[in-house]
């Protein structure tokens, strides 16, 4: 997998034009969802480099991250005469960059694409690292491929279009990056006032967060080892997200990850000695900013079943990424059903 070019542009139009020209596309297409078509497309629609671009719009929200939506993108590319030498620009959040990247990676066996993330979640996580895909059969990101965008252009001015919930959603991935990197970065994140976010300061923190992920992905692009560190909070988090979707009460991805972090830091404490004071401080920050997700012990079996479908698993064994301390990463860790249920108990007792 090629190394990804991540750009923090001083002038988005200039950087976008250069990124497009580097691929020499014969035709250009823009993918947005209904939200980014309304809020973000007006900021770039006057760019000369996009004058002839075709436009494809899909529904907004994770419930549209489906095979039907993927087929719609393929159909629109085909109808407009896209070739193997065309390019797709994904303008949106993580759902758009994931699905758009997968559509581009598979249309005519692969066309060039670049990502212009417009949410904090997409900037620090979804659009960087080469993971693309869709949800399938009730499971998060069940179908997809590793394939890097030719460029990722991160313009934090788009953060001004975000509501507080989507800001919090992306921040959960930043918090994860802090936990797997170093105490100074974690402390900065845990002391940041999300309710009255200082956007200039947040922009600097975004660059630090992206650098954490880039460094890990560069060392392990196909998730054979170290890259599994990025799954901290995601084994339980994806299970919560899948349960919420199945029960028709969908939650934002970052919220599910934040709740998953509490459970997996508890497992880190009981199985790897993660310090209780750092668990408590992280748990308090999450409770204050993310609230809770309500479930009871009757739903534990279903959550466990969702965890058994996690892509990190091997030979039917659920694999976790745990921490011995901040930055002390333990991949391929196992927990029994009883230990997982105990972590769910801890979540309900401290957050629920």
The first and second tokens of residue 343, run together, are: 């972590």
The first and second tokens of residue 85, run together, are: 């030498």
- Quote the CA–CA distance of 211 and 230 in Å, as a whole number: 13
- Quote the CA–CA distance of 23 and 2 in Å, as a whole number: 14
Let me know whether 149 and 219 are in one domain: no
Let me know whether 181 and 243 are in one domain: yes
Q: Is 151 exposed, middle or buried (0-12, 13-18, 19+ CB in 10 A)?
A: buried
Give phi and psi for 310, each to the nearest 5: -60, 140
84-98 pLDDT, tens digit each: 999 999 999 999 999
Flag whether pLDDT at 200 surpasses 90. no
pLDDT confidence band for 223 (50 / 70 / 90): confident
Name the one residue in this structure whose structure tokens are 């969908």. 250
290-322 pLDDT, tens digit each: 999 999 999 999 999 999 998 888 877 899 999
Let me know whether 22 and 87 are in one domain: yes
CATH number for the domain harbouring residue 303 = 1.20.1090.10
- Average pLDDT, stretch 191-208? 92
Are 32 and 92 in contact, with CB atoms under 8 Å apart?
yes
- Write down the pLDDT at residue 2: 65
Let me know whether 177 and 281 are in one domain: yes
Segment (H or E) for 324: strand 320-325
45-75 pLDDT, tens digit each: 999 999 999 999 999 998 999 999 999 999 9
Let me know whether 82 and 174 are in one domain: no
Check: pTM over 0.85? Answer yes or no: yes
31-47 pLDDT, tens digit each: 999 999 999 999 999 99
- Quote the CA–CA distance of 97 and 127 in Å, as a whole number: 6
Q: pLDDT above 70 covers what percent of the chain?
A: 99
Flag whether pLDDT at 3 surpasses 80. no
Number of domains into which the chain is organized: 2
Let me know whether 123 and 155 are in one domain: yes
Give phi and psi for 98, each to the nearest 5: -65, -55
Let me know whether 195 and 78 are in one domain: no
CATH number for the domain harbouring residue 57 = 3.40.50.1970
Name the one residue in this structure whose structure tokens are 């990190």. 312
Segment (H or E) for 88: strand 87-92
126-184 pLDDT, tens digit each: 778 889 999 999 888 899 999 999 999 999 999 998 999 999 999 999 999 999 999 99
235-285 pLDDT, tens digit each: 999 999 999 989 999 999 999 999 999 999 999 999 999 999 999 999 999
What is the DSSP-derived secondary structure letter of residue 144? -
Flag whether pLDDT at 219 surpasses 90. no
What is the domain range of residue 63?
A: 5-161
**Mean pLDDT over each residue of the chain, to the nearest integer:** 94
- Write down the pLDDT at residue 173: 96
- Write down the pLDDT at residue 138: 85
- Write down the pLDDT at residue 218: 87
Let me know whether 153 and 182 are in one domain: no
């Amino acid at each position: 997998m090629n190394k990804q070019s991540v750009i923090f542009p001083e002038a988005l139009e200039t950087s976008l034009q250069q990124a497009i020209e580097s691929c020499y596309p014969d035709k250009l297409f823009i993918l947005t969802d209904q939200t980014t078509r309304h809020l973000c497309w007006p900021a770039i629609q006057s760019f000369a480099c996009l004058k002839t671009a075709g436009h494809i719009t899909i529904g907004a929200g994770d419930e549209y991250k489906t095979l039907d939506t993927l087929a719609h993108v393929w159909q629109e590319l085909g109808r407009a005469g896209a070739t193997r030498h065309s390019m797709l620009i994904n303008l949106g959040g993580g759902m758009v960059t994931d699905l758009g990247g997968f559509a581009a990676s598979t249309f005519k066996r692969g066309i060039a694409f670049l990502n212009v993330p417009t949410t904090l979640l997409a900037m620090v996580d979804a659009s960087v690292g080469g993971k693309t895909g869709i949800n399938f059969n009730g499971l998060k990101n069940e179908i997809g491929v590793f394939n890097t965008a030719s460029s990722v252009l991160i313009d934090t001015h788009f953060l001004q279009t975000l509501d507080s919930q989507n800001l919090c959603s992306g921040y959960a991935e930043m918090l994860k990056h802090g936990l797997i990197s170093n105490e100074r970065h974690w402390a900065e994140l845990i002391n940041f006032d999300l309710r009255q976010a200082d956007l200039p300061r947040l922009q600097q923190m975004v660059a630090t967060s992206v650098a954490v992920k880039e460094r890990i992905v560069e060392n392990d692009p196909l998730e054979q080892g170290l890259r599994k560190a990025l799954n901290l909070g995601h084994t339980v988090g994806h299970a919560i997200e899948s349960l919420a979707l199945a029960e028709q009460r969908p939650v934002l991805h970052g919220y599910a990850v934040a709740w998953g972090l509490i459970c997996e830091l508890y497992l880190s404490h009981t199985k790897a000695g993660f310090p209780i004071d750092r668990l408590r401080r992280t748990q308090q920050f999450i409770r204050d900013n993310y609230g809770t997700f309500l479930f009871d012990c009757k739903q534990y079996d279903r959550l466990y079943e969702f965890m058994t479908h996690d892509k990190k698993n091997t030979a039917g064994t659920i694999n976790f990424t745990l921490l011995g301390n901040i930055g002390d990463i333990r991949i391929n860790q196992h927990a029994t059903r009883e230990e997982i249920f105990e972590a769910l108990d801890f979540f309900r007792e401290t957050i629920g």
